[in-house]
């Protein structure tokens, strides 16, 4: 029999349990981006934690963002240990989430797994959002030198100086986005402490007055034996352009600067995430050689 319990904070032993489950899921699915040591990924910190056990063994886990996304919707991440799937534990976790959040709940299904779709249908959860994962091979990619229009210049991020300027642009560029639009200076500064953060791969665009009007933040994921030939993979992490500076190819110039940087680092593959209904962005990335690799789905009640 499976037993579930909510906790507001993970102590050392529970953190180790959850990390072991996340690492097992990563070995099977290639996700989430969790490391054997250090803090858990940000999507599993804070909020509330739902633990599902059979006896003393943790068979399932869900994290609920109790603060909500930019629109106040409670968002959950849910995983079942690969060795214990197809036993109904995912349904048990969803039932507990729905009981706690009767309305306004969002649940991620990474990889658009058919099992997740079946559970969602049974529980009255509708497909509300698609986040596409696009992929491009670096070899043979035609990524020319970026050419921003006259009066615009590109440079790299300076920690301790550029945080507020980036956050200001980010807030205006992503006021519609459930997660990205709420990024704060404090969160950005905290991210700078992560092992993967690389200021040389964080490109800013300035106008003729030296004001930051856009940025491209790149990321490099460590090698995963299950994906991309076991090699590290680059990511077009965030590209943001101030609405008042759009046009003239600034977004494309920033994207090219980051792509060429990732290529120069010797990476063989690059991925990015884009909203499934953002047709203009998908078209731009398609022209740059990206194609659909995976899709993450958010189900809503």
Q: What is the pLDDT of residues 5-19, one digit of tens each?
A: 999 999 999 999 999
Q: 45 with 187, same domain?
A: no
273 is in an annotated binding site: yes
78 is in an annotated binding site: yes
Q: 73 with 187, same domain?
A: no
Q: What is the pLDDT of residue 8?
A: 96
Q: 191 with 239, same domain?
A: yes
Q: 24 with 168, same domain?
A: no
278 is in an annotated binding site: no
Residue ending a domain, choose from 76, 102, 124: 124
Q: 118 with 184, same domain?
A: no
Q: What is the pLDDT of residues 57-82, one digit of tens each?
A: 999 999 999 988 888 899 999 999 99
Within a domain: 107: yes
Q: What is the pLDDT of residue 164?
A: 98
Within a domain: 57: yes
115 is in an annotated binding site: no
Give the residue numbers spanning the domain of 65: 2-124
- Residue 48 CA to residue 7 CA, distance in Å, equals 6
- Average model confidence (pLDDT) for the chain? 93
Q: 280 with 150, same domain?
A: yes
Q: What is the pLDDT of residues 238-296, one digit of tens each?
A: 999 999 888 778 999 999 999 999 999 999 999 999 999 999 889 989 999 999 999 99
80 is in an annotated binding site: yes
275 is in an annotated binding site: no
Helix ranges, the chain (H):
12-29, 89-100, 114-122, 163-173, 185-191, 250-264, 279-287
Within a domain: 301: no
Q: What is the pLDDT of residue 33?
A: 84
Q: 202 with 275, same domain?
A: yes
Domain count, the chain: 2
Q: What is the pLDDT of residue 113?
A: 84
Residue ending a domain, choose from 124, 143, 158: 124
Q: 164 with 250, same domain?
A: yes
54 is in an annotated binding site: no
Listing DSSP states for 192-204 in one string gives TTSTT--GGGEEE
246 is in an annotated binding site: yes
- Residue 23 CA to residue 261 CA, distance in Å, equals 29
251 is in an annotated binding site: yes
Instruction: Note whether 270 and 237 are within 8 A (CB).
Output: no
Q: 55 with 196, same domain?
A: no
**Rounded to two decimals, what is the model's pTM?**
0.84
Q: 117 with 38, same domain?
A: yes
Rounded mean pLDDT, 11-35: 92
DSSP 151: T
Within a domain: 130: no
Residue ending a domain, choose from 81, 98, 124: 124
Unique residue bearing structure tokens 């970026």: 146
- Residue 207 CA to residue 119 CA, distance in Å, equals 50
Q: 114 with 149, same domain?
A: no
201 is in an annotated binding site: no
Q: 23 with 149, same domain?
A: no
287: domain CATH number is: 3.40.630.30
């Amino acid at each position: 029999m499976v037993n579930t319990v909510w906790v507001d904070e993970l102590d050392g032993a529970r953190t180790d349990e959850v990390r072991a489950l996340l690492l097992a899921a990563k070995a099977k699915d290639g996700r989430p981006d969790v490391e054997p040591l250090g803090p858990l990924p940000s999507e599993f910190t804070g909020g509330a934690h739902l633990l599902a056990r059979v006896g003393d063994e943790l068979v399932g886990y869900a994290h609920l963002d109790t603060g909500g996304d930019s629109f106040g919707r409670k968002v959950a991440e849910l995983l079942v240990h690969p060795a214990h799937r197809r036993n109904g534990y995912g349904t048990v976790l969803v039932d507990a989430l729905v009981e706690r959040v009767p309305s306004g709940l969002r649940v991620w299904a990474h990889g658009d797994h058919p099992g997740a779709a079946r559970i969602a249908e049974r529980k009255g959860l509708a497909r509300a959002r698609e986040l596409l994962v696009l992929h491009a091979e670096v070899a043979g990619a035609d990524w020319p030198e970026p050419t921003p229009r006259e009066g615009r210049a590109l440079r790299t991020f300076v920690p301790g100086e550029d945080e507020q300027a980036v956050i200001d642009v980010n807030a205006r560029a992503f006021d519609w986005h459930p997660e990205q639009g709420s990024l704060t200076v404090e969160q950005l500064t905290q991210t700078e402490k992560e092992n993967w953060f690389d200021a040389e791969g964080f490109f800013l665009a300035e106008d003729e007055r030296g004001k930051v009007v856009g940025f491209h933040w790149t990321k490099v994921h460590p090698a995963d034996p299950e994906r991309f030939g076991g090699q590290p993979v680059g990511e077009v992490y965030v590209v943001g352009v101030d609405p008042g500076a759009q046009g003239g190819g600034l977004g494309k110039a920033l994207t090219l600067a980051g792509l060429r940087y990732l290529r120069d680092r010797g990476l063989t593959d690059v991925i990015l995430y884009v909203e499934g209904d953002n047709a203009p962005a998908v078209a731009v990335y398609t022209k740059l050689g990206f194609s659909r690799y995976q899709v993450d789905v958010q189900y809503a009640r």
